[in-house]
Amino acid sequence: MALSKQKLVKTGIWQVLNTVVVLVSQIGANAIMARYVTDVEFGLMAITNAFVNFACFFSEAGMGDALLQRKVVEPQHKNAALYFSVLVSVVLYVIFYFCAPLIADFYGKPELINILRVLGFSFILLSIGSSSLNLMQKNFNFKQVFFSDSLSLFASNILGVVLAMKGYGAWSVVWSILFYNAARMVMVWIIEPIPLKLGATLKHWKDLAGYGAGLTLIRINNYVSGFGIMLEIGKLVSIALLGAFERSYRYTNLPVRYIGDMLQKIMMPFMSKMQDEDEKLYVFFYRAQSFSNSLLVPISLFGLVFCKPIVFILLGHKWENAIIPMQILFLSLPFRITTKVADALMRSKQLVYRNAGRKFQYVVILCVGIYVGWLFDKNSLVGISTAVTLASVFNYVAMLLTIRRRVFTQGWQKLIISPFKNGLLLSVCIIAPAYGLYFLLNMFVQEQVVSFIIVTSIVGVILLFLFLKRPKWLGEDFADMQKEILKMTKGKGGGKKRKMMEEELKMQHDNDIPTVTEPINE
């Protein structure tokens, strides 16, 4: 059966549900834990997460994504990916275990030793479940991905909150992360077991190794721009300031991380199938860019304008030093989501090494910029946050140049401004009246948080009404999504109507999302 627009939207809906559940769960849990875990303890976790995630990139070695990208996957490919990932992760953990005291001495924090050694189990758990998770995505089992991921995270966040309230401090975060990785590993193995008895050969490993190695290089660069910068900042500022920056960066990164991951997971299976059809690939990529910025540009500017009450809600009044850094980082969201969506395009065209080169340039600019920003402002986080945002703009420009040279030599100019237009228009229409109402409410309500909650609730209700009743007012991207959701909802009524819709789907070809061969289900 062809991969129609209907199937794409259905895939997208499950990913949207997963993203919403994960975001709400993460924001709620972190908001509660910030009241019980200090900025110093979050600073310790920032350093710990940086080292653990570095090991994670090597332990998985891109093998799971190599399975996702490969057109034909044999059972032995699955085993080769699993065996290699587990072997590397075990070796890395042994190294990690004995290096923990050295890391603790480097930062002058002896409490890091046990935290590093316990949390290090995470990358072993991730390597065991990676192949199964990617195969679920490859086979479009996004409903199962939703339950395995969101339920595991929801339960782990409850555990983290309970432990934080009982005074476990940084360890509440450690046990929460471990529980999430273990629970998700068990669930994906139940849903998508690996046929271990069939074994693997060197040939099957080589089929995956080239792509996996290139992707690992890209992920190392992604690591430095995400977790790795915490190691540099941790040596430049106090642990308390590091904790404030980590919280600011984490919250502003949530939309990029989860919406970007959602789009990548939806796009990769389709793009891999149409990688040789440039015209269809261009349309698909452009629509993804436009949709992502229709979401992220309003979120970015809304966060900039209302950052103070957002910080008070998410972190509490004791975190005022996070307000200005968070405002500056909010400005980087559209550029970061655009380059993240472009990563899926590069991977589908098997330009992983070219993309890795671009990422390396970005990482160098980022790390140098952070140090320069610190030299200009050693007593706060303004210089460092500004450097991170400017580096994101540089990465966006470098991405456009790469696309121009290697992917779309024609029509790339349209990708410069056009994907941002709908998001900018929505921002003006949403934020201007929202701030006016917020200003008026503050004249009568003394607490800014209460005014912000009222304004946000009103804006949310209006946007929901427009999406359901007047979707064209929000732009073509939302109108198309609403139309397909309604089709699917009506199609669940059963009977002749549903049968007619199924027959219509079979006849769809040129007017739908580019049709490709259905993935092989092992």
The tens digit of pLDDT for each residue in 220-254 reads 666 776 777 888 888 898 888 888 888 888 888 88
- Match 């209006």 to its residue by tokens: 462
Q: What pLDDT score does 516 carry?
A: 33
Task: Assess whether pLDDT exceeds 80 at residue 480.
Answer: no
Q: Is residue 509 part of a domain?
A: no
Answer with the one of 203, 220, 236 that is the final residue of a domain.
Answer: 236
SS3 of 33, please? Answer: helix
Least confident segment among 47-51, 97-101, 139-143, 315-319: 139-143
Question: Are 242 and 211 found together in one domain?
Answer: no
Q: Is residue 500 part of a domain?
A: no
CA atoms within 13 Å, Cβ hemisphere of 499: 2
List all residues 6 or more positions away from 39 whose beta carbon is below 8 Å from its beta carbon: 239, 240, 241, 243, 244, 247, 319
Q: What pLDDT score does 511 carry?
A: 41
Q: Is residue 198 part of a domain?
A: yes
Helix (H) or strand (E) holding 273: helix 239-273
- Match 């395009």 to its residue by tokens: 345
Question: Are 202 and 339 found together in one domain?
Answer: no
Question: Are 444 and 332 found together in one domain?
Answer: yes
Question: Are 232 and 243 found together in one domain?
Answer: no
* Tally of structural domains, the chain: 2
Q: Is residue 340 part of a domain?
A: yes
H-state helical runs in 34-120:
39-60, 63-69, 75-107, 112-119
In 3D space, the residue among 365, 53, 12, 87 whose CA is nearest the CA of residue 228 turns out to be: 53
263 token code pair: 């789009």
Identify the residue with better confidence: 135 or 160. Answer: 160
Please give the DSSP secondary-structure letter assigned to residue 228: I
Question: Are 254 and 136 found together in one domain?
Answer: no
Question: Are 175 and 70 found together in one domain?
Answer: yes
Question: Are 302 and 339 found together in one domain?
Answer: yes
Question: Are 163 and 277 found together in one domain?
Answer: no
Q: Is residue 502 part of a domain?
A: no
Average pLDDT value for residue range 32-39: 83
Q: What pLDDT score does 106 carry?
A: 85
- Structure confidence at residue 109 as a pLDDT band (50, 70, 90): confident
List all residues 6 or more positions away from 247 whose beta carbon is below 8 Å from its beta carbon: 30, 34, 39, 42, 314, 315, 319, 322
In angstroms, the CA 461 to CA 482 distance is 16
78 token code pair: 């699955």
Domain extent at residue 359: 238-483
| Mean pLDDT for the chain overall | 78
Task: Assess whether pLDDT exceeds 90 at residue 210.
Answer: no
Answer with the one of 220, 236, 252 that is the final residue of a domain.
Answer: 236
Question: Are 217 and 245 found together in one domain?
Answer: no
Share of the chain above pLDDT 90, in %: 16
Question: Are 211 and 253 found together in one domain?
Answer: no
Tally Cβ neighbours within 10 Å of residue 146.
19
pTM: 0.69
Cite the beta strand spans of 299-380 per DSSP E: none
Q: Is 249:329 a contact under the CB 8 Å cutoff?
A: yes
What are the backbone angles phi and psi of residue 306, rounded to the nearest 5°? -105, 30
Question: Are 301 and 413 found together in one domain?
Answer: yes
Q: Is 316:335 a contact under the CB 8 Å cutoff?
A: no
Residue 156 one-letter amino acid: S
In 3D space, the residue among 237, 255, 325, 322 whose CA is nearest the CA of residue 47 turns out to be: 237
Task: Assess whether pLDDT exceeds 50 at residue 507.
Answer: no
In angstroms, the CA 329 to CA 253 distance is 9
Residue 216 one-letter amino acid: T
- Structure confidence at residue 494 as a pLDDT band (50, 70, 90): very low
Question: Are 247 and 222 found together in one domain?
Answer: no
